[in-house]
Amino acid sequence: MMRTHRGGELRAEHAGQPVTLVGWVHRRRDHGGLAFVDLRDASGIVQVVFHPDSAPEAAAVVAEVRSEYVVRIVGEVALRRPGTENAEMPTGAIEVIAQRAEVLNASETPPFPVNQETSVDEMMRLRYRYLDLRRERMAQNLRLRHRIVKYMRDYFDARDFIEVETPVLNLATPEGARDYLVPSRVHPGHFYALPQSPQQWKQLLMVAGVERYFQVVKCYRDEDLRADRQPEFTQLDVEMSFVDEDDVLDVMEDLYARLAGESAPQFAIPSGRFPRLTYQDAMERFGSDKPDLRYGLEIRDLTPLVTDTEFVVFRSVITEGGRIRGFAVSGGAETPRRGIDALTELAKETGAQGLVTVAFGGEGTLDGLAIEDVRSTVTRFFSAEQFAAFGGACEAKRGDLLLIAAGPDALTSKVLDVLRRRVAEDRDLADPNVLAFAFVTEFPMFEFSETDSKWNAVHHLFTSPFEEDMALMTEDPAAVRSRAYDLICNGWEIGGGSIRMHRREALMRVLARLGIEEQEAIEKFGHMLEAFTYGAPPHGGFACGLDRTVALLAGERDIREVIAFPKTKSASDVMTGAPQPVRQAQLVEAHITVVAPPSV
């Protein structure tokens, strides 16, 4: 047989046993005639000792090997001499005394070290991804991903969910991000679309009476990439019949609380239930629908305190319907001028005209605050009492700093969210050992596109609005709330879902609000509209980004670190060279003509 044991699984109880091992040369060391090889396989690393006197042929073989050679070794497990044990290695109590050795394959010198976690250019790592995956951190990430997927499947299986595979070749529909299209050879000029999500299929499974479905499924979106996006990604897809929001959120909360405890016990989770914030509350308090709750820096509305101000900037903003909002930075009064300037520049880069800062000198409460205790860009416009009122609204004290932005809510939320995250990063406020999960609910149903001059769905087209808000769809679409919800953690959106529409007439009303005429609706969604007339049950579901989940529990900041073969931010594969032009014959066969892009 090729081997009798996996090297990383050998322990003291194996001492005296003959073994045959295979693997890669992780590291070779020569000491006074003796040669030591750290042999690596998927289970770990074990030390092998080569004695030139007792096994001269094996010693001669190992003298020629280098890192990443693939070798086969026959030997005997022995306890290490007292004092030479390595407590940092699971196999550190033993070593293997080599008797025979064979090179199964040689290796060129790798373009970067495989046996150590050195910094390597990312493009180099992706170009030689098969070598990058040999490194310990990446190998651990792949194993963690496997354990998470297995846990999810076991969790839902134990709760009477069934995993159902859904089609990859779908109908292109006018929703979400751009589709990846697949031409049909047998239907000239017609295209399939790769699934952005199995949304319609899982709803049809509910109509089919499945009741409890899940799937670990590949999805595709042709959109701009960033640290938490890839053109092809994997999600945990869940759908349930006869449920409301609490039923769905309770299942997902239980899953993630258990999953984190099982797969990433090094992280702490705040006690109690996951907080549930409405979208309005999240935007008002944090300026973001995915706030990082590991720190405070909560935003406060200061508008009522400046309604009669002579400060023209604030007065003009209020006149135009905007607000004055800000938050306190504990201990921030000592921020140097260059730090204030950097925050101001960041606010401007985010769209603000400027940033008002207020630093309170001294210690203790703001009682008896004098104007001499205030350092601000607007001291001549406000009294000490007014500054104290600003600080009181933000729960500040002496020694703190206020950051204040003015403008429409959309702008001040964006600016203050960016400032919150920058302040938290600069001051190390986010505990890296904490997972602060929360749900955000009651998202807006519609948003107006200035580019297209029409209303669009914030989520997908099958998200249900609140019944009591249906009357607002015509007169005030912006006020319509959807029964949508997201799971967030540490500033990341982990997943989301909604209670779905299950009645034909309700879906037709939403499509009409979006400017989709009945004929187009029937062409694009006729199968859904028809299915809803055959006793479709109330249902809802959730979809979690598996890549984001694994990255979160692995402590990684980019999902590419937990995907075996990811794409670059330009959606290319530097290892294989994809995408590439194809032969003209293939294009003809698929009835495709390539049109050169217009020159710039």
Q: How many helices (H) and strands (E) does the chain have?
A: 16, 22
Query: What is this structure's pTM?
Result: 0.93
Sequence ranges of the domains in the chain: 7-105, 154-168+196-274+438-562, 295-429
Q: Among 171-180, 260-269, 282-291, 346-355, name the one with the lowest average pLDDT.
A: 171-180
Residue 174 clears pLDDT 90, i.e. is over it: no
Question: Residue range 447-468: average pLDDT?
Answer: 90
- Pairwise CA distance, residues 48 & 460, whole Å: 58
| pLDDT number for residue 196 | 93
pLDDT, tens digit (0-9, with 9 covering 90-100), for 493-514 = 999 999 999 999 999 999 989 8
Token pair recorded at residue 133: 């995956």
pLDDT, tens digit (0-9, with 9 covering 90-100), for 274-296 = 999 999 999 999 999 999 999 99
329 vs 172, residue with greater confidence: 329
Residue 64 clears pLDDT 70, i.e. is over it: yes
Q: Which CATH class is domain 154-168+196-274+438-562?
A: alpha beta
| pLDDT number for residue 227 | 77
Split at pLDDT 50, 70, 90, the class of 175 is low
Question: What average pLDDT does the structure give for the chain?
Answer: 95
Q: Which CATH architecture has domain 7-105?
A: Beta Barrel (2.40)
Split at pLDDT 50, 70, 90, the class of 32 is confident
pLDDT, tens digit (0-9, with 9 covering 90-100), for 548-579 = 999 999 999 999 999 999 999 889 999 999 99
CB 412 within 8 A of CB 322: yes
Do β-strands 356-360 and 374-376 pair in parallel, antiparallel, or remain unpaired? antiparallel
CB 379 within 8 A of CB 437: no
CA atoms within 13 A on the CB side of 223: 15
Q: Which H/E stretch holds residue 489? A: strand 484-489
| pLDDT number for residue 33 | 86
Strand order in the sheet with 356-360: 300-301, 323-329, 401-407, 356-360, 374-376
Split at pLDDT 50, 70, 90, the class of 600 is low
| CATH match of 295-429 with 3.60.15.10 | no
Residue 338 clears pLDDT 90, i.e. is over it: yes
| pLDDT number for residue 173 | 76
DSSP code at position 463: B
